[in-house]
Amino acid sequence: QKEVEQNSGPLSVPEGAIASLNCTYSDRGSQSFFWYRQYSGKSPELIMFIYSNGDKEDGRFTAQLNKASQYVSLLIRDSQPSDSATYLCAVRVGNAGNMLTFGGGTRLMVKP
């Protein structure tokens, strides 16, 4: 079983809709959770991080964490074609220093 799992997609949503990206993790000691966006041919860009159960909002992005279910998600409201990218979920286990474990990524396509 992979430590961090994401549906590879592609997830296709129409412009203006809400895109919901999901991630599950296996290590209950995981303490920090990150979402990166990666455009084709570019390096990952940090867009959100969350540490506590519940929701964290930043502009059109909302990260949701449920540690009991070992589940973290990213919602993108009012999706734009420029949001089309691969979204990587990353998890840090408490005793792993600054090491991040990445999921395989979900490719999001926002259609005009």
Partner 1 sequence: SAVISQKPSRDICQRGTSLTIQCQVDSQVTMMFWYRQQPGQSLTLIATANQGSEATYESGFVIDKFPISRPNLTFSTLTVSNMSPEDSSIYLCSAPDPFSTDTQYFGPGTRLTVL
Residue 6: what are its φ and ψ, rounded to 5°? -140, 150
Minimum CB separation of residue 14 from partner 1 in Å reads: 26
Min. distance of Cβ 52 from partner 1 in angstroms? 13
Least Å from the CB of residue 110 to partner 1 = 20
Sign of the four-CA dihedral 79, 39, 49, 68: positive
Cβ nearer to partner 1, comparing 40 with 112: 40
Token couple for 97: 């220093």
b or e along 55-69 (b: 16 or more beta carbons within 10 Å of the residue's beta carbon)? eeeeeebbbbbeeee
- Shortest gap between Cβ of 106 and partner 1 (angstroms)? 10
User: Which residues within the stretch 60-99 sit at the binding site for partner 1 (CB under 8 A)?
Assistant: 88, 92, 97-99
Of 84 and 92, the one with the shorter C-beta distance to partner 1 is 92
- Tokens for 69? 């279910």
Q: Where in 19-58 is the site for partner 1 (CB under 8 A)?
A: 32, 34, 36, 42-46, 49
Q: List contacts with partner 1 (CB under 8 A).
A: 32, 34, 36, 42-46, 49, 88, 92, 97-105
